[in-house]
Amino acid sequence: MEPGAAKVEQVDEAANGRRKVGLPVATALVIGNMIGSGIFLLPAALAPYGGITLFSWLLVSIGALCMALTFARLSRTIPRTGGPYAYTHEGFGDFAGFWIAWGYWNSLWISMAGITVALVSYLRIFLPFLNQSGWLAALAAVLAIVLMMFFNLQGIKQAGAVQFITMILKLIPLVAVATIGFFWFQPAHLLPFNASGQPPFVAISGVAALIAFSFQGMESATVPAGDIKDPGKTIARATVFGVIFVALLYILSSTVVLGVLPRNILLGSQAPFADAAASMWGKWAYYAVGLGACISCLGSLNGIIIVASRVPMAAAQDNLFPRSFGRLSRKAVPAFSIITSCFMACIILVLNYSGAQALTNLFTILVLIATVNAVIPYAFCSLVELMLRTRHENPHPLTPIQHITIWIGFLFAIWLIYGAGPQPALWACSCSSSGSPSTSRSTKSAARQKTPRRFEPYTISSGWLPSANSPTDVSWR
């Protein structure tokens, strides 16, 4: 029996003794983790491009849906904790598994920093002095992370309660803007249609890299596969419905903001949704939407901490990360992993706020780096499903439609890396390459070598995966 298969059986046996959740909770998990800070700041970042951003929203939504279908199918085939890392590790082995886990974890704690920047940007509505001092803004950001870290350290029930409540509250301002706001919509504000002056494909690709940040978290329902009733059907339905619902909400609400605020005002806005609400309904709406955005950011930060701590925990359990990441506290949470993830986010927040960079510019840079680090694992997951489902002995081969969705998801990930531009891609690769696991074999790793992995015949030859002369196994002592 393969080591991975043994772990899957253990997970399934443990899950049988727990209550399982159904479609409503699984769908809420997808929606709650996808809707965070990105949508509340994106209209200002998209303003330089004009109405052409609508095409980017449509294309990214299609790509995200295809990628979500891949995650849904993989969650049934490989029901392991760890999401994209677990799938890559099962398909490509230890080296690629570590590389993806490291990069994916980087994308998560960078996302924590980006979400906190958005939170501070909206806190200035109630605390305007935060906009006058970078160090005060840094202090507020660090305190927000520490607060959510505290809830996560108390246990998954406490963190889950925070996540559910904030998910309900965050939908209120978005739904209000997306529906009622069309009465104040002015199509002329979308002109010029391509304000960037770039070729349409270049402009659409650049916008797509920014938009994709708002779709991160679509794989959330695949993580607790053992705790979901009839996961083969429930996860797929929850993921598909969640992505479609969030995509429609994003497109409608973002379009309303672009059509309500003149382009010159939107370019200088650090709280575009609140500014749009104020122009439609008065000053009270400015504060109401600002409060809703703050709650949304806190909820998203809480959810990202949950996910960010479980990725290194899963890698540590596979002996690819230091064992301390996999240890559980008395309250059954990976305390060291939670604290380390939050600490890394706090470091880059303090470093960046120490300069004079504007909040929105900092947010845009962090978005691009996190997006590239997140979509590389997405591409690997597409390849893993192709490898698994095209084997002759597989009882459920891919249908033509499934083949198409997998390749669309893969090309979607590659396209996003291209749209991010060379500098964010280089920064993302630097983050992924910064981890160097020991190549010495531990006793556990040596034992694992005796059992060939399921996908061992499949290899990839490239500069950043092991070649014929590379170590065949990596582990942490």
Residues 6+ apart with CB under 8 A from 458: 91, 92, 387
Q: What pLDDT shows up at residue 216?
A: 80
Q: What pLDDT shows up at residue 393?
A: 54
Other C-beta atoms closer than 10 Å to the C-beta of 335 total 18
Taking residues 56-63, what's their average pLDDT? 90
Q: Choose between 391 and 68: higher pLDDT.
A: 68
- pTM metric for this prediction: 0.79
Q: Calculate the average pLDDT of the chain.
A: 78
Q: What pLDDT shows up at residue 246?
A: 93
Per-residue confidence at 45, pLDDT binned at 50, 70, 90?
confident
Summarize pLDDT for 127-174 with one digit per residue, the tens: 888 877 778 888 999 999 999 999 999 887 787 778 888 888 989 888
Q: What pLDDT shows up at residue 290?
A: 83
Summarize pLDDT for 238-248 with one digit per residue, the tens: 888 999 999 99
Task: List domains and CATH numbers for the chain.
Answer: 34-437 (1.20.1740.10)
Q: What pLDDT shows up at residue 384?
A: 92
Q: Which of 266, 290, 87, 283 is nearest to 172 (CA)?
A: 290
% the chain with pLDDT above 70: 78
Taking residues 86-96, what's their average pLDDT? 89
- Yes or no: say if 223 and 310 are a contact pair by the CB < 8 Å rule: yes
Q: Choose between 7 and 105: higher pLDDT.
A: 105
Beta-ladder partners of 257: none
Summarize pLDDT for 108-131 with one digit per residue, the tens: 888 888 888 888 888 888 888 887
Summarize pLDDT for 337-390 with one digit per residue, the tens: 999 999 999 988 877 776 645 555 666 676 677 778 878 888 999 999 888 876
- Yes or no: say if 38 and 247 are a contact pair by the CB < 8 Å rule: no
Q: What angle do CA 250, 32, 249 make, to 5 degrees?
A: 15
Q: Which two tokens stand for residue 460?
A: 């990839």
Q: What pLDDT shows up at residue 360?
A: 53
Q: How deeply is 14 buried, as exposed, middle or buried, from its count of CB atoms within 10 A (0-12, 13-18, 19+)?
A: exposed
Summarize pLDDT for 292-349 with one digit per residue, the tens: 889 988 988 988 898 888 889 889 988 999 999 989 889 888 899 999 999 999 988 8
Q: What pLDDT shows up at residue 400?
A: 87
Q: What pLDDT shows up at residue 477?
A: 34
Q: Which two tokens stand for residue 119?
A: 């939170």
Q: With 70 as the cut, is the pLDDT of residue 7 above it?
A: no
Q: How far apart are CA 359 and CA 219, in angstroms?
A: 28
The position carrying tokens 């996560």 is: 152
Summarize pLDDT for 431-470 with one digit per residue, the tens: 666 665 443 333 344 345 434 443 333 333 233 333 333 3
